[in-house]
Amino acid sequence: MSRLFNGLALLAVTLPTTLSAQTVCADRGDLVNNLTNRYGEAFAGGGLQSEEQIVEVWFSEEKGTWTVLMTRADGKSCIMASGTNWHDPGEVDLPKGIPG
């Protein structure tokens, strides 16, 4: 089961969001371990999405990867989006017309 989970998490974190047809969910601790140990990602911030859900953003400064987790009150987290080319605020030149 762990090997299957690791493979699914790897797939979810490495595929562009537009290609990912399924959301990967698991215990928050397992997902966080994979994000920190396999991908070098660290917690960047987050907030309440509802009374029962928290949205978290994780990223790797070294690798430029990022992941958005949605964590439920029951301790399960789901990878909602992931990608590459993470940039800190102020490092991104937004196209004209997009507020920055």
Phi-psi region of 97 (alpha: psi -120 to 50; beta: other; left: phi over 0): left
pTM for this one? 0.67
Query: What percent of the residues of the chain are helix, what percent strand, and what percent coil, each to the nearest 5?
Result: 25, 35, 40
* Angle (CA) 20 47 29, round 5°: 60
Amino acid 100: pLDDT: 54
What was the pLDDT predicted at 5?
41
pLDDT at 97 (0 to 100): 66
The series of mean pLDDT values per 10 residues for the chain, 100 residues long, is 44 44 84 94 94 94 92 94 80 61
